[in-house]
Amino acid sequence: FLIQNDIRKAIQSEQFTLVFQPKVNLETYQIDSAESLIRWNHPKWGLLKPIEFISLAEETNLILDIDKWVLKKVCEQITYWKETYNKSIRVSVNFSAQHFLQRNLIEQIKEILEDTNVDPTLLEIEVTETVLLRSKDSVKQTLEQLKELNIHISLDDYGKGYSSINYLREFPFDTVKIDKAFIQEITCPQKHSRLIIESTIALMKNLGLNVVAEGVETIEQLNLLKEFKCDEVQGFIFSKPLSTNDFIRYVDKHK
């Protein structure tokens, strides 16, 4: 119960910060987009990672307030990068499943878009398939409304759960992010992983989806993903998540 009060306080007193992990375009090697990831600068416990507080925040629904804070910050950041450096960088936010049970979600997002004057095409929302397992029709409708606002929609952690191909047909995704556990098996000969990933990427691209590989750490993984025509790579081989200043420096180095 203490941590619930701590989370409320943390939002008010700006204890949360965001880091940004670059996604590298495998054709141009430029940085067109990034994923925002939250960190908590806790006054007593130091820097906390999401694994230490997100599930509790989800259980208590405080995740709604956290993610709204993240969304607003990200929109401001996108606008700042555009206006100050003339850089159009698409930035994604992670949305927990709880949001899709909220009736006024779209209204709230519209308000943030207006307040921050953000170009919505530069905003991306990442959802995992746990969202899709809920009331399907209403989730589909909500995703379609987000798309009508010109927001980019991604399916995160593909390959981790059931990962039905049908999700990719039924819901209006722009991008699929292949889970890092799946990617890290790519060089493992026993598991047919290489073949499965190659075919999966080909299928996704034939469906018109943009494909991002997450958790890429080695040159072997990178070379295979290039061969399979994966669009973008996010992983430690290029960069860990970076502060805003380090991120913009990184973007400049990759022009």
- What is the spatial distance between Cα 169 and Cα 208, in angstroms, rounded to a whole number? 10
3-class secondary-structure state, position 233: strand
CB of 5 to ligand G, least distance (A): 20
- What is the spatial distance between Cα 138 and Cα 13, in angstroms, rounded to a whole number? 35
CB of 49 to ligand G, least distance (A): 5
CB of 95 to ligand G, least distance (A): 6
Number of residues that bind ligand G (CB under 6 A): 23
Amino acid identity of residue 28, one-letter, is T
Residue 185's closest CA among 154, 156, 214? 214
CB of 43 to Mn ion, least distance (A): 27
Q: Which of residues 146-165 bind Na ion (CB under 5 A)?
A: 156
Q: Which of residues 54-113 bind Mn ion (CB under 5 A)?
A: 94
Q: Which is nearer to ligand G, 86 or 180 (CB)?
A: 180
Beta bridge partners of 175: 154, 210
User: Does 235 interact with ligand G (rule: CB under 6 A)?
Assistant: yes
What ranges make up the beta strands (E) of 98-149?
123-127
Cα dist from 160 to 29, 82, 180, whole Å: 27, 34, 9
Residues forming contacts to Mn ion in the complex (CB under 5 A) are: 94, 126, 156
Residues forming contacts to ligand G in the complex (CB under 6 A) are: 21, 37-38, 49-51, 54, 63, 67, 70, 94, 96, 156-157, 180, 214-217, 234-236, 241
